[in-house]
Amino acid sequence: MIDTVAGYGVAAVARRDAPGVYVDGRKLCAIGLRVRRHCSYHGLALNVAMDLAPFGRIDPCGYAGLEVTDLRTLGAPSDLARVRADLAPHLTKRLRLC
């Protein structure tokens, strides 16, 4: 995801203390992994163009005061189809490295 948003001119980083992708301390992407009964469940959520107001009423990912952002707010492309197409090759490349 960091590679994808870099292509839009957005400097994003990962944090060891809080899984996800961040831009200027605001969460742009959530990443999760759960192992239960010998099965792994994983997912990722990249905020593209959404109503961010509900995040102001919760503690995102259990972190009080954590702000959330999306690509539209950052001035990046907000068309879901485009972002999906741009993300796919980066994700595929990174998964092959594992």
Active-site residues: which are they?
A: 61
Q: For residue 3, with 0-12 CB atoms within 10 Å meaning exposed, 13-18 middle and 19 or more buried, which class applies?
A: middle
DSSP string, 42-59: EEEEE--S---GGGGGS-
How far apart (Å, rounded) are the C-alpha atoms in residues 15 and 93? 21
Q: How far apart are CA 63 and CA 87, in angstroms?
A: 27
Residue 23 contacts residue 46 (beta carbons within 8 Å) = no
